[in-house]
Amino acid sequence: MAQVRQLRQKIRSVKSTAKITRAQEMIATSRIVKAQQAVAASKPYADQITQALSALVSHHVGVDHPLLHEQPTDNRSAVLIVTSDSGFCGAYNVNVIREAEALIKRLREQGREPVPYVIGNKGITWYRFRDRHIQETWSGFTDRPDFASAERIGRRMTDDFLKTDAEGGVGEIHVVYTEFVSMLTQEVRVTRLMPLEIQEDKGLDGKVPPAYDFEPSAQAALDLLLPNYVESRIFHMLLQSAASYQASKQRAMKSATDNANDLVEVYTRQMNQVRQAMITQEISEIVGGADALADSGGE
């Protein structure tokens, strides 16, 4: 009887866990659509500012900006790592951190000094637990990124890029984030954010590229566009990571719910076997007692 009670308690516990994982799965499913819409909404702006910036650099001789140039004298490389604030997302954060560590190792082999900048509580906790140096941290918005957060990050990264090593700056900036490909596929990407690599504007599909007039001047427009370009790219990466997180969470919670349901079936079958054994034992005892009474009465 004690074994039956234990199995019933296990079944109740697993069913409670299944309810929680099912609720988390439904929440993630509802948020994936909004995250995908946010990614789609940010893409036209990112494309347009990239096109305008490419046209400016390609067709205006003499315009220049420090963000466009290599800094060979600076030996420090910033690594911006985008993780999540929450868990329940399977290997989402593990994959990002693994790729970031591989990048850090490659940079060290090249003779550079990697400097981590971490977004998300999970990445912050991972580095602090191992007593690793972190240059700057941001958290509290990874589930639902906003442009104000991307703007803060972009300004900090731009400011550090413009500084020298002696001033605590960096010579290049890499970003490790997760790109949302589909509901089933999310891929970790490593992108060099600075110095910027602007492609010459040669038109789209053979068409003549649009003509831009820059006021008050091309140089002034470049000074304004480049920081905005950096911030828009960071914002797009944050949105991609948020959509990937929700998809990973939905998949992980569905797997956890399925495993819980399978475990309930196993415990239920074990409980039924124990109960059947107890019933069989009771019947055997009753039959044995009846036979004993019959034998004693016959004598």
Q: To which CATH superfamily is domain 26-251 assigned? A: ATP synthase, F1 complex, gamma subunit (3.40.1380.10)
pLDDT tens sequence across 114-150: 999 999 999 999 999 999 999 999 999 998 999 999 9
| pTM listed for this prediction | 0.82
The pLDDT assigned to 225 comes to: 78
Whole-number Å distance between alpha carbons of 289 and 223: 99
Cis peptide before 227 (omega within 30 of 0): no
Largest distance between two CA atoms of the chain? 123
| 3-class DSSP assignment, residue 278 | helix
Indicate whether 219 pLDDT > 80.
Answer: no
The pLDDT assigned to 277 comes to: 83
The pLDDT assigned to 130 comes to: 93
The pLDDT assigned to 208 comes to: 56
Domain ranges (residues) in the chain: 2-21+253-289, 26-251
The pLDDT assigned to 151 comes to: 93
Whole-number Å distance between alpha carbons of 212 and 225: 13
pLDDT tens sequence across 232-262: 889 999 999 999 999 999 999 999 999 999 9
Q: Are 176 and 102 in contact (CB under 8 A)?
A: no
The pLDDT assigned to 204 comes to: 46
Indicate whether 56 pLDDT > 80.
Answer: no
| 3-class DSSP assignment, residue 267 | helix
Which carries the bigger pLDDT value, residue 254 or residue 296? 254
Of 154, 280, 145, 289, the C-alpha closest to 228 is: 154
Tally Cβ neighbours within 10 Å of residue 236.
21
Which carries the bigger pLDDT value, residue 52 or residue 97? 97
Q: Are 241 and 82 in contact (CB under 8 A)?
A: yes
The pLDDT assigned to 228 comes to: 85
Lowest mean pLDDT among 159-173, 175-189, 240-254: 159-173
| Positions of E strands within the chain | 76-82, 113-119, 136-138, 172-180, 186-194
Q: How confident is the model at residue 285 (pLDDT cuts 50, 70, 90)?
A: confident
- Segment 210-234 shows an average pLDDT of 77
pLDDT tens sequence across 12-25: 999 999 999 999 88
Q: Which CATH class for the 2-21+253-289 domain?
A: mainly alpha
The pLDDT assigned to 199 comes to: 55
**Which strand (E) or helix (H) includes residue 174?**
strand 172-180
- Segment 153-170 shows an average pLDDT of 88
